[in-house]
Amino acid sequence: MSERRYFGTDGIRGRVGEPPITPDFVLKLGWAAGRVLGGGRGARVLIGKDTRISGYMFESALEAGLVAAGADVLLVGPLPTPAVAFLTRSLRASAGIVISASHNPHPDNGIKFFSGEGEKLPDSVEAAIEAALEQALSCQPSHALGRARRISDAATRYVEHCKATVPPDFALFGLRIVVDAAHGAGYQVAPRVFTELGAEVEAIGVSPDGLNINEGCGALHPQALIERVRASGADLGIALDGDGDRLQVVDGDGSLLDGDDVLFILARAWKESGRLRGPVVGTLMSNLGLERALAELGIPFERAAVGDRYVHERLKATGGVLGGETSGHILCLDRATTGDAIVAALQLLQVMRERDEPLRALRSGLRKVPQVTLSLPVEAPRRLAREPHVQAAVAALERELAGLGRVLLRASGTEPKLRITVECEDELRARRLAERLAEAVGSPPV
């Protein structure tokens, strides 16, 4: 992807009050998006958000900018990112906008877009919006201004969509589930979906105050869910991140399943049922053990660049329906257009019900290779990753592993950090090699 001034791998993100995450910029971003997405006719744009206190401010700014450009606005309030993708398509909007910094803490926020098909915007459209931002802001005449209204039943529409991704006779009666919504966008709809399907649900992380999103809870901090599952004797636990597109699962014994575990379970079950099409698509971060386990099952596996948008692009290109990231973004493209934690959890529960087996049994056959990841705070991660001395250090480690492991160095698309990942059969060796590469980069790991 070409370098951009504002857009990263998942929209525009940063610290609230610091450029570009300021009210004036977001107002102009709404105006620029309205001009580009409307195509000269006037767009219809849906806006959702997570529970950050700054979401109110940016919702108003986007609304003002879009209306000034002549676009109509549909406001749905706090809902998961995949809900905005679904509603954009369902309500025939030109585009959808999510105000969220996903798994980041509350001082951060961001803006990400969906096309009218409920998919991430193509690079070309993001580039056109950036170009429009360089123009002087103008306002349509009064008669051509857009209008704004709230969609009062948005949450119910999304809940019904989630339930429709499993068979009509599918039910969760007899299951006790702990749901951790990270005090985020799924705090209302996530417990409701599983309750309406018959599960006995204990909900945690469902008391957002504008400041506690992702704080010691949710998919980023699953220890709270692990402890609650163990203490309550629940059959399993489900954790979302702040914007509801990332999933982590806890088995009844308290063991944690990440995105690689979920992909393996679904891929094997879908292959046997005939539902699987095309390759399973992971990322450069997907565990080598997943690739090996799928190969043993005769399931093709491909790697995309890190970021669910790139997994989506590869699935579309290959005709695949299942892909995702170790972090928990799971894409089931025969059920949803983007990564959706609730939808993915339902597909997993469907496999559990059909096989009448606990999760620990369903993931037997997957042996992960030890993987160590360090994050280095740096000012220009993309440029630093290309420095000759850094590339030489990576090449030296790859020669040392001699094909028996992997080294990955990548710039984060959402934070000013450089990620170092080393994978090999010996975890202590992997850590030593990762730390050696961190020293070569010249910044202490965090």
Beta bridge partners of 256: 250
pLDDT at 6 > cutoff 90 = yes
Instruction: Judge if 293 and 331 occupy the same domain.
Output: yes
Whether the CB-CB separation of 284 and 306 falls below 8 Å is answered with: yes
pLDDT of residue 68: 96
Inside any domain, residue 1:
no
Identify whether 267 is part of a domain: yes
Give the model's confidence band at 39: pLDDT under 50 very low, under 70 low, under 90 confident, else very high: low
With respect to residue 415, please indicate whether it lies within any of the assigned structural domains: yes
The verdict on 229 and 293 lying in the same domain is no
pLDDT score recorded for residue 416: 85
Condensed to tens digits (0 to 9), the pLDDT of residues 226-267 reads: 999 999 999 999 999 999 999 999 999 999 999 999 999 999
- Provide the pLDDT confidence category of residue 205 given band limits of 50, 70 and 90: very high
In a domain? residue 166? no
The one catalytic residue in 54, 94, 100, 102 is 102
Mean pLDDT to the nearest integer, 181-196: 98
Span 424-430, mean pLDDT?
93
Last residue of a domain, one of 256, 284, 312: 256
Do 432 and 326 share a structural domain? no
Q: What was the pLDDT predicted at 40?
A: 53
Question: Could you tell me how many helices (H) and strands (E) the chain has, helices first?
Answer: 15, 18
17 with 138, same domain: the answer is yes
pTM: 0.91
pLDDT of 446 > 70? The answer is: no
- The Cα–Cα gap between 310 and 338 comes to 11
3-state secondary structure 43-56: CEEEEEECCCCCHH
In the predicted model, what is the mean pLDDT of residues 399-419? 87
Pick from 362, 389, 404: which residue ends a domain?
Answer: 362
Q: Considering the chain, what is the average pLDDT of its residues?
A: 94
Q: Is residue 389 part of a domain?
A: yes
What per-residue confidence (pLDDT) applies to 182?
A: 98
Minimal CA–CA distance to 80: which of 63, 55, 99, 54? 99
Residue 324 pLDDT exceeds 80 = yes
Domain boundary among 256, 280, 306: 256
Listed as own residue / partner, the contacts of 379-386 with beta carbons closer than 8 Å and 24 or more positions apart are: 379/416, 380/416, 381/411, 381/412, 381/416, 381/417, 381/418, 382/3, 382/411, 384/411, 384/418, 384/441, 385/409, 385/410, 385/411, 385/418
pLDDT of residue 87: 98
The band of 430, judged by pLDDT with boundaries at 50, 70 and 90, is very high
Q: Which helix (H) or strand (E) holds 204?
A: strand 200-204
Q: What average pLDDT score do residues 360-382 get?
A: 91
The domain spanning residue 277 has which CATH number?
Answer: 3.40.120.10
Phi/psi at 238 (nearest 5 deg)?
-130, 125
Total domain count, the chain = 4
DSSP state of 203: E
What is the C-alpha to C-alpha distance for residues 195 and 72, in angstroms, rounded to an integer?
A: 35
In 339-381, beta strands by DSSP E: 371-377
pLDDT tops 50 at residue 443: yes
pLDDT at 307 over 70: yes
Residues 22, 134 share a domain: yes
Question: Of 206-215, 233-242, 393-402, which range is least confident?
Answer: 393-402
**DSSP strand E in 42-192: where?**
44-49, 72-78, 95-99, 108-115, 148-150, 176-180
- Give the residues across from 54 on adjacent strands: none
**pLDDT confidence of 329, banded at 50, 70, 90?**
very high
Structure tokens at 187: 């705090």
- Domain co-membership, 264 together with 193: no
Q: In what order do the strands lie in the sheet with 176-180?
A: 200-204, 176-180, 236-240, 247-251, 256-257
Q: Which domain holds residue 43?
A: 12-154
Separation between Cα atoms, residue 60 and residue 431, nearest integer Å: 46
Give domain status of residue 4, yes or no: no
Q: Which distant-in-sequence residues (6+ apart) come within 8 Å of 139 by Cβ?
A: 68, 145
Tell me: do 315 and 435 sit in the same domain: no
User: Is the pLDDT confidence value at 342 over 80?
Assistant: yes
DSSP strand E in 291-368: where?
Answer: 301-304, 322-324, 330-332
Q: Is 60 a catalytic residue?
A: no
Q: Work out the burial of residue 202: count CB atoms within 10 Å of its CB; fewer than 13 is exposed, 13-18 middle, 19 or more buried.
A: middle
Whether 119 and 16 map to the same domain: the answer is yes
pLDDT recorded at residue 1 = 43
Domain check: are 18 and 130 in the same one? yes
> With 60 as the cut, is the pLDDT of residue 177 above it?
yes
Q: Please check whether residue 164 lies inside any domain of the structure.
A: no
Looking at the structure, do residues 150 and 217 belong to the same domain, yes or no?
Answer: no
Confirm whether 291 is domain-assigned: yes
DSSP string, 384-411: HHT-HHHHHHHHHHHHHHTTSEEEEEEE
Q: Do 182 and 275 fall within a single domain?
A: no
Residue 378 has a pLDDT of 87
- What helix, strand, coil percent values describe the chain, rounded to 5? 40, 20, 40
The answer to whether residue 406 scores a pLDDT higher than 80 is yes
Residue 142 and residue 195 share a domain: no
Question: How high is the pLDDT of residue 3?
Answer: 62
